[in-house]
Amino acid sequence: MITLLSKQTQIWMILVSLLLGLILIAWPKSSFSQSVASQERVAGVLAIDKLAIQDGTVTGELRNKSSHALRDVQLLINYVWLWKNERHPGKDDPGRSIYYSVPGELSVGGSNRFQYTPSPPLPKRMDGSFQISVSIAGYTEVIPQSR
């Protein structure tokens, strides 16, 4: 059964839709702000200390240098494969990049040890070596709400 709406009903639906759209646009946003920070800004908030790398396993300590608690810290661990003969590299590059989420919250001035062991383990090969680097990829700064 096909029913046709009257012109008056169609106009009412358009007006109500426009009104709801305006209300939603003007509604205060309760989402969390995200921003891309410079390396200098990140260095003023969070530091990686006592970094050690052995057989691909990365250990270290995160130190909170900000005036707020931090959580959801993510590290970017790059395993870059360097061929012994870069002019004639092989076809199987075992390099990889990992985002590692460090568990726990860092209180103001606090520190937290972390350890990441690659799974599967890095291959033992004779045709090159790994260059491993660790950097801070992201974090959440817990800023108390003020009223």
First to last CA, the chain: 56
Phi, psi of 34 (to 5 degrees): -125, 145
Determine the pLDDT at residue 13: 83
Determine the pLDDT at residue 112: 93
Instruction: Indicate whether 144 pLDDT > 90.
Output: no
pLDDT digit string (tens) for 128-137? 999 999 999 9
Instruction: Indicate whether 62 pLDDT > 80.
Output: yes
pLDDT digit string (tens) for 73-107? 999 999 999 999 888 888 888 999 999 999 999 99
Q: How large is the average pLDDT for residues 37-65?
A: 88
User: Alpha-carbon torsion 146, 41, 32, 24, what sign?
Assistant: positive
Instruction: Indicate whether 44 pLDDT > 90.
Output: no
In the chain, % of residues over pLDDT 90? 57
In the chain, % of residues over pLDDT 70? 88
Q: What is the number of other CB atoms lying within 10 angstroms of the CB of residue 8?
A: 8
For the entire predicted model, the pTM comes to: 0.71
**Higher model confidence: residue 22 or residue 115?**
115
Structural domain boundaries in the chain: 39-141
Domain spanning 39-141, CATH architecture: Sandwich (2.60)
Mean pLDDT over all residues of the chain? 86
Mean pLDDT check: name the lowest of 11-15, 37-41, 88-92, 135-139.
Answer: 37-41
The C-alpha atoms of residue 24 and residue 13 are separated, in whole angstroms, by 16
Determine the pLDDT at residue 1: 47
* Chain-centroid distance, C-alpha 132: 19
The C-alpha atoms of residue 44 and residue 32 are separated, in whole angstroms, by 21
The C-alpha atoms of residue 115 and residue 84 are separated, in whole angstroms, by 29
